[in-house]
Amino acid sequence: MQRFINDPDLVVEDTVKGFVKAHSDIVRLAENPRVVVAREAPFAGKVGVVTGGGSGHEPAFIGYTGRNMLDAVAVGELFSSPTAKSFHDAIREANGGKGVVVLYGNYAGDNMNVKMATKLAAKDGIEVATVVANDDVCSAPIEEREKRRGVAGEIFMWKIGGAKAATGASLEEVRAAAQKAIDNCRSIGVGLGPCTLPAVGHPNFKIEPGTMEVGIGHHGEPGVRVETLKTAEEVARDMVKIVLDDHDLPEGTEVAVLVSGLGATPLNELYILNDTIESEISARGLKIRKTWIGNYFTSLEMVGATLTVMALDDDLKTLLDVETRCTIIL
Amino acid sequence: MQTFDNASCGAIVLSMAERIVENRAYLSEIDGKIGDGDHGVNMAKGFGMAAERLKGKNAPLAESLDTLGTVLMTEIGGSMGPLYGVMFTEFAETIQGVEKIDAAAYSKMLHAGLSGIQSIGSAKVGDKTLLDTFVPAVEAFDKATAEGKSFGEALEVLVTAAEAGRDSTIDLVAKIGRASRLGERSLGVLDAGATSCAIILKELSEGARTRLV
């Protein structure tokens, strides 16, 4: 496929440079060029909110840096965890003296690098709490929820954690709010076409024409089943069923819905999916408070979409309504 | 008693880096079957960067291993950055100040690297990771020296065991890392980390063996 790149080995550097130039009213680059920081951060007396992850998921993770959202983001290579040093530097940039919460996905590299960064931050006297996202229903059975990976539900976790921190809450309160957000999230991905790391040069997995991967991960981790491609209506119905069957929600529960493209799926197809998603969720007696549709969490040029549903209570509703100022309006 | 010299053996790390860079495409290809295909790219980047910093310096082995470990840990993220980073810095720390490395010091070094890996990762033998290469290699080395084999012979035994361990990952289902999401579909292919670990242990051990006095 044809790409707008310079050097395949410098894709991340060049991405971050262009991003910071575009959004200098909202973000700045730390001394470590692999750390993006909210322009005015750190905020004295506010819990710092940090995430980090591999690149290639834009606008995640850097796009969610900003006021009432993330204070600092550690940037990794394409699909590869940031270094412990970058996580550590992000923690330091976000530290306003009230502790820092690191909200990240459940990937082997991130788990190790955050663990090491937390130890390094402790030496600086910074108290760090962590929340690990595990909203991807198909990545492990519910009994092994701790093994599930974090996907687009992370956006809700950051939104809620960031909003809670903005209220002046304590580190433990912010951690608990972010934890509740992700506990209340369930996500599913469906892949129709693979993606290619530019430095590798060929797709890192195959999806045969006429088929789809149900339960695909954000790096092309194969789904739980390969099926014949069906109509958008049937796919959307399956997505809602997988997500909600995993989440025993009482009738009348209000939910937030996020439908994200994986990079190469046009927006109109996401709306086509949502036509059925909305009907199916409503048919189950749930009430949709707000829906976001767009390329919120992508996987390079993967073709496909994810659905995330977060169940809301009064606290989460309040926090969800807090205004944020990042490059992605939420 | 056979030993090799710490001060003059830093070149072992340079040849290790060469092997990794040579195997860039191969390691990525293996990784691409059950992972996302960037293992060779990231390994070559880290080892290549370390080699650049070490070239022409004639640094001792301990210092060379420390440079490599630090580069991997601070500049290469993912899983392999911290895992191999910890392993090499632990290797370096253990042999720092040891002038002549004998079989006992070599074993101590390997064990320190292994504990380092186990302190940050949660994999066990059989999970289809680099430990499937590393653990049997260390065990075979210790067994060989306990049976009275020379340091040189024990190093040969280590390399054979590392390669057998690497090959054992073909028949394993991945239990950890990205490939674990595949379940049974991860059967039938080598683990990329186990493969790079075999390259590393072979270069280190062959390098030591050919320099024994």
Q: Which of A116, A149, A205 sits opposite B82 (nearest CB)?
A: A116
Q: Is residue A2 part of a domain?
A: no
Cis amide prior to A61 (ω within 30 degrees): yes
Chain B residue numbers with beta carbons less than 8 Å from the beta carbon of A76 are 77-78
pLDDT for A204 equals 73
Q: Specify which residues A186 forms β-bridges with.
A: A309
> Residue B37 above 80 pLDDT?
no
Among the options A23, A88, A218, A219, which is catalytic? A219
The C-alpha of A56 sits at a distance from chain B's nearest C-alpha, in angstroms, of: 12
pLDDT for A25 equals 96
Q: What is the band of A75 on the pLDDT scale with cuts at 50, 70, 90?
A: very high
Catalytic site residue A219? yes
**Are residues A196 and A164 both part of a single domain?**
no
For A197, the domain range is 185-319
CATH number at residue A159: 3.40.50.10440
Which of the listed CATH numbers 1.25.40.340, 3.60.21.10, 1.10.10.10, 1.10.1060.10 matches domain B4-209? 1.25.40.340
Tens digit of each residue's pLDDT (9 = 90 or more) over A264-304: 999 999 999 999 999 999 999 999 999 999 999 999 999 99
Domain spans of chain B, in order of start: 4-209
Chain A residue numbers with beta carbons less than 8 Å from the beta carbon of B120 are 112, 115-116
- Interior angle at CA B78, CA B167 and CA A203, nearest 5: 70
Q: Which of B35, B37, B82 sits opposite A84 (nearest CB)?
A: B82
Catalytic site residue A57? yes
CATH number at residue A295: 3.30.1180.20
| Cα A41 to chain centroid, rounded | 21
**Are residues A215 and A174 both part of a single domain?**
no
Q: Is residue A3 part of a domain?
A: no
Q: pTM of the full predicted structure?
A: 0.90
The CA-based dihedral angle spanning residues A273, A278, A283, A287, taken in that order and rounded to the nearest 10 degrees? 160
The C-alpha of B195 sits at a distance from chain A's nearest C-alpha, in angstroms, of: 18
Q: Is residue A309 part of a domain?
A: yes
CB contact under 8 A, A112 and B82: yes
Q: Is residue A328 part of a domain?
A: no
CB contact under 8 A, A79 and B38: yes
Q: Which of A120, A154, A183 is the last residue of a domain?
A: A183
Within chain B, how many helices (H) and strands (E) appear?
9, 2
**Are residues A14 and A109 both part of a single domain?**
yes
In angstroms, the Cα distances linking A163 to A91, A144, A157, B204 are: 18, 29, 10, 51
Please compute the mean of the pLDDT values over residues B164-179 and round it to a whole number. Answer: 89
Please compute the mean of the pLDDT values over residues B18-31 and round it to a whole number. Answer: 94
**Are residues A226 and A172 both part of a single domain?**
no
In B, minimum Cα distance to A116 occurs at: B120
- Whole-number average pLDDT of chain A: 95
Q: Which of A164, A183, A202 is the last residue of a domain?
A: A183
CB contact under 8 A, B78 and A77: yes
Q: Which of A183, A215, A248 is the last residue of a domain?
A: A183
Query: Is residue A119 less than 8 Å (CB to CB) from chain B?
Result: no
Query: Is residue B38 less than 8 Å (CB to CB) from chain A?
Result: yes
In A, minimum Cα distance to B176 occurs at: A108
Residues in contact with A75: Cβ distance below 8 Å, sequence separation at least 6, in sequence order: A12, A16, A34, A35, A36, A52, A55, A61, A62, A82, A86
Q: What is the CA radius of gyration of chain A?
A: 19
pLDDT for B23 equals 97
What is the C-alpha to C-alpha distance for residues A180 and A165, in angstroms, rounded to an integer?
14
Nearest CA to A58 among A309, A259, A263?
Answer: A263
Q: What is the band of A149 on the pLDDT scale with cuts at 50, 70, 90?
A: very high
Number of domains in chain A: 2
Judge if ipTM > 0.95: no
**Are residues A179 and A191 both part of a single domain?**
no
pLDDT for A130 equals 98
CB contact under 8 A, B77 and A9: no
**Are residues A225 and A279 both part of a single domain?**
yes
Query: Is residue A53 less than 8 Å (CB to CB) from chain B?
Result: no
Chain B residue numbers with beta carbons less than 8 Å from the beta carbon of A114 are none
**Are residues A128 and A192 both part of a single domain?**
no
**Residue ranges of the alpha helices (H) in A151-254?**
153-166, 171-183, 232-245
DSSP B171-194: G----SSGGGGGGGGGTTS--HHH
The C-alpha of A221 sits at a distance from chain B's nearest C-alpha, in angstroms, of: 7
pLDDT for B36 equals 73
Query: Is residue A189 less than 8 Å (CB to CB) from chain B?
Result: no
**Residue ranges of the alpha helices (H) in B96-148?**
103-120, 131-146
**Are residues A197 and A299 both part of a single domain?**
yes
- Helix or strand (DSSP H, E) at A108: helix A108-123
**Are residues A171 and A227 both part of a single domain?**
no
**Are residues A118 and A130 both part of a single domain?**
yes
Q: Is residue A140 part of a domain?
A: yes
Tens digit of each residue's pLDDT (9 = 90 or more) over B69-98: 999 988 888 899 999 999 999 999 999 999
Length of chain A: 330
Buried-exposed string B130-161: b where 16+ CB fall within 10 A, e elsewhere: bbbbbbbbbebbbebbeeebebbbbbbbbbeb
pLDDT for B43 equals 94
pLDDT for B25 equals 92
Q: Is residue A327 part of a domain?
A: no
**Are residues A38 and A153 both part of a single domain?**
yes
**Are residues A151 and A207 both part of a single domain?**
no
